[in-house]
Amino acid sequence: MNYKFPENFLWGSAASGPQSEGRIHGDLKGESIWDYWYEEEPEKFFNKVGPEKASQVYTKYKEDIQLMKKTGHNSFRTSIQWSRLIPDGVGAVNPEAVAFYNSYIDELLSNDIEPLINLYHFDMPKSLQEQGGWMSRQTVDAYVRYAKICFELFGDRVKKWFTHNEPIVPVEGGYLYQFHYPNEVNLKKAVQVGFHENLASAQAIKIYHEMELDGEIGIILNLTPSYPRDDSNPEDVKAAAIADAFFNRSFLDPAVKGTFPEELVEIIKELDILPKMEVEDLLTIQENTVDLLGINYYQPRRIKAKETPIADINHPMPDDYFDNYDMPNKKMNPYRGWEIYEKGIYDILTNTRENYGNIKCYISENGMGVEGEERFINKDGQIEDDYRIAFVKDHLRYVHQAIQEGANCIGYHMWTCMDNWSWTNAYKNRYGFIAVNLEQDGQRTIKKSGYWFNEVSEKNGFN
């Protein structure tokens, strides 16, 4: 079968500033929570590799953009680092950062690669975190100022903006499940953080539209479909709906519909942990929805009715309302410990078509992290990552089917362009079309999947 994609389909990959840029002496970047956490507890990071190493994009971006061309990119998403542009989060703009981002954007454009720019990718400036981070209303104000500065500096050339990448992750990682700084377990704080992120996004969208810039603004959400263990068991179905409300609809509904899911609001009211807000906040969220939705998809969530006792120690938690279901015989990525379920990407696109007004969207991340890829180097020094080609192809088939059925999906970006630094996992799992050799000054080599993706992009599809 020939899988042909719509005209002007976006082919490319995604990355982020904190995971790829690195730091060099004299770049005047301020500290983010990741720089700080690494300094405090380097042993928490795989092989003690910190964000200052990253993939040296700060100095190698021109070379990297030539490699993007060779791997079929007509578009590329990355993020501006708040702590690079405004080192303390609130004060003066760093001229070195302005020069870097201007040059990076211009270089992409002059090579016919459209830049898609995200404003926040988990990298809170340290000085703002010290004052509460997303717990604090001042952070919302500081973020909106930062967003406006970005629109003023780069909005003449960047036509697709995003307010947040995966805003549920600072909620889950920082305030529920302890895999991001500040590593707390507190549902009341998690709710406040999520509300402030939603509000900050809506306010940034409002400002962008008021500036009448010639472009679109959206949000990027990691949508993880919640499947009940047994469709015919009402308790399983209800549990899956609650998990979906906590982890998907908590951002998807306000971003696209301007409202919060009723199931979630009921639970939060019952627990008496409603967020602090000002009178006009809900109206701001209601009136400033997204133009464009980025969808990150890696794995499904399997859910069953609550069977285990509620843990007293951390109560309340989302997990008080459901249990995760370990489905037998599921296909797994053993390195990441994640289920591979290609149809999930189709189910998400069908859901946005049927229940979210067929919002204009694109697949902003989808990818496969593999540990020890050097095992697959051939005699010519190239990594033969056939497993990644199969992974992308199998997902693209379902994207194609959803588009055939009317989903308003305009592109596909893989995570990631070149192997990059993945938070506490550092470089444990490699995701890129392009290998990065940390031992040899970040030397780049295109993997087999990169050459394959170039063919897909050139043909705007595959057989």
Helices 448-459 and 386-404: angle between axes, nearest 10 degrees: 30
Q: Which of 280, 365, 439, 455 is catalytic?
A: 365
Q: Which residue has 């705007």 as its token pair?
A: 460
The answer to whether the beta carbons of residues 147 and 207 sit under 8 Å apart is: yes
- Report helix, strand or coil for 280: coil
CA 280/CA 268 separation, integer angstroms? 20
CA 82/CA 343 separation, integer angstroms? 36
- Residue 338: count other Cβ atoms within 10 Å of its Cβ: 15
- Residue 328: count other Cβ atoms within 10 Å of its Cβ: 5
- Residue 134: count other Cβ atoms within 10 Å of its Cβ: 27
- Phi-psi map region of 94: left, alpha, beta (phi>0 left; psi -120 to 50 alpha): beta
CA 384/CA 394 separation, integer angstroms? 18
Between the alpha carbon of residue 1 and those of residues 142, 345, 400, the distances in Å are 51, 20, 12
- 458 an active-site residue? no
Structure tokens at 175: 């305030």
The answer to whether the beta carbons of residues 365 and 431 sit under 8 Å apart is: no
- Residue 174: count other Cβ atoms within 10 Å of its Cβ: 27
Output helix, strand, coil percentages for the chain, rounded to the nearest 5: 45, 15, 40
Query: How deeply is 234 buried, as exposed, middle or buried, from its count of CB atoms within 10 A (0-12, 13-18, 19+)?
Result: exposed
The answer to whether the beta carbons of residues 86 and 125 sit under 8 Å apart is: yes
Q: Which residues contact 7 (CB under 8 A, 6 or more apart)?
A: 460
Tell which residue, 185, 144, 178, 149, has the closest CA to residue 164: 144
Question: Which residues are known catalytic residues?
Answer: 365
